[in-house]
């Protein structure tokens, strides 16, 4: 982190209680200009609550949440510098994307039509159709366009890729990268680890309202549990992976083996080469839950 640069997005020991439930507990995170931070955590961990406190929709019980040094709840003009996508994007069902962009553009001090057209082209959104006639993915695209269309200095995106097909997800990652390149600070929450891997500079992991890790993406991935899938030319037995360091789970189904590995996969791959001819290797997806399991053993958490 560059010294002397004030964070564009910051929470300082921010806590939010709803009655007896502590949704966010003394959370401190910072995102600098030009930085992309992935916000990870299971459902109900407090990601959305933290983002809504930053936006000023709900007030912290204690601590401070600031954007560009100010508070959007008090400083209305500050919101011009923010692009926000709620976790459950919904809008007036009779409105089309174009209607919403025109309205919000007006509220934000002017609509950049060229930019909107560029975004709708890239995300392949037909902005003329009313929201109610659109699929989940296309609705989400409207949410993305309205968040990016004014080229804000800060982007707060709650589960931005929900419902998007892989091609559009890739386009979205490009948008985030471009925003960061021109100096925007981006905080986005997700369940999907590869997404973080591709664009985030750092990852903040939150669990039961507490920050449990804030680290560069690569560090995290090196520690994470990986799932590999091997397909062999002939049926195999579980014993192929017996005693291999790092292997914590083995599942065999005829010619296919799915294994979970903590840390480097080197030894496990070598062991696989001792079996029948190896036809295919695939990553079975790194689950967020696996990441937690490696980092916190049983996954039990005390609050």
Pairing status of strand 154-158 against strand 82-85: parallel
Kindly state whether residue 139 participates in binding another protein, applying the rule CB under 8 A. Answer: no
Q: Does 94 engage in binding with another protein (CB under 8 A)?
A: yes
Residue of the chain from 13, 59, 124, 132 that contacts another protein (CB under 8 A): 59
For residue 142, give both structure tokens: 């409207």
Alpha carbon 61 to its chain's center: 25
User: Measuring CA to CA, how many Å separate 132 from each of 124, 160, 200, 201?
Assistant: 17, 20, 33, 36
Residue 177, both tokens: 């990268």
CA distance 9 to 32: 7
Q: How far is CA 7 from the centre of its chain?
A: 19
**Footprint (CB under 8 A) of another protein, residues 270-289:** none
Contact flag: residue 84 with another protein (CB under 8 A)? yes
Q: Which of 47, 79, 210, 225 binds another protein (CB under 8 A)?
A: 79
Scored b (16 or more CB within 10 A) or e, 170-192 reads ebbbebbeebbeeebbbbbbbbb
Q: Give the residue, chosen from 57, 182, 237, 301, that forms a contact with another protein under the rule CB under 8 A.
A: 57
Nearer to another protein, 3 or 77 (CB): 77
CB closer to another protein out of 2 and 77:
77
Q: Does 98 bind another protein (CB under 8 A)?
A: no
Asked if 166 interacts with another protein (CB under 8 A), we say: no
Q: How far is the CB of 72 from another protein (least distance, A)?
A: 8
Contact map string, positions 104 to 123, toward another protein, x by CB under 8 A: x-xxxx--------------
**How far is Cα 133 from Cα 2, in angstroms, rounded to an integer?**
46
Are β-strands 154-158 and 185-190 bridged in parallel, bridged antiparallel, or unpaired?
Answer: parallel
Among 95, 208, 212, 214, binds another protein (CB under 8 A): 95
Binding another protein by CB under 8 A: which of 23, 27, 33, 89?
A: 89
In the complex, which residues of this chain contact another protein (CB under 8 A)? 52, 55, 57-59, 72, 76-80, 82, 84, 86, 88-92, 94-95, 103-104, 106-109, 146
């Amino acid at each position: 982190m560059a010294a002397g640069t004030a964070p564009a997005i910051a929470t300082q020991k921010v806590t939010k209680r709803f009655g007896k439930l502590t949704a966010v507990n003394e959370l401190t995170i910072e995102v600098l200009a030009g930085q992309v931070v992935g916000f990870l955590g299971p459902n109900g961990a407090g990601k959305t609550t933290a983002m809504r406190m930053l936006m000023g929709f709900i007030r912290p019980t204690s601590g401070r949440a600031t954007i560009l040094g100010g508070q959007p709840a008090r400083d209305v003009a500050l919101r011009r510098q923010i692009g926000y996508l709620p976790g459950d994007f919904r809008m007036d069902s009779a409105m089309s994307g174009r209607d919403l962009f025109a309205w919000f553009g007006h509220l934000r001090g002017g609509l950049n039509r060229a930019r909107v057209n560029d975004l709708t082209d890239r995300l392949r959104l037909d902005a003329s159709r009313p929201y109610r006639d659109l699929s989940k993915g296309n609705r989400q695209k409207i949410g993305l366009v309205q968040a990016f269309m004014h080229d804000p200095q800060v982007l707060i995106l709650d589960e931005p890729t929900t419902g998007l097909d892989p091609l559009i997800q890739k386009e979205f990652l490009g948008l985030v990268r471009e925003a960061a390149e021109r100096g925007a600070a981006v905080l986005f929450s997700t369940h999907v680890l590869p997404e973080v891997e591709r664009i985030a500079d750092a990852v903040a992991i939150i669990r039961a309202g507490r920050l449990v890790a804030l680290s560069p993406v690569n560090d995290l991935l090196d520690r994470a549990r990986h799932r590999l899938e091997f397909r062999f030319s002939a049926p195999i037995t579980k014993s192929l992976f017996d005693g291999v360091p790092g292997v914590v789970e083995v599942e065999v189904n005829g010619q296919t083996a799915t294994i979970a590995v903590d840390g480097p996969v080197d030894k496990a791959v070598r062991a696989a080469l001792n079996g029948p001819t190896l036809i295919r290797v695939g990553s079975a997806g790194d689950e967020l839950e696996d990441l937690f399991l490696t980092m916190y053993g049983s996954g039990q958490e005390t609050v």
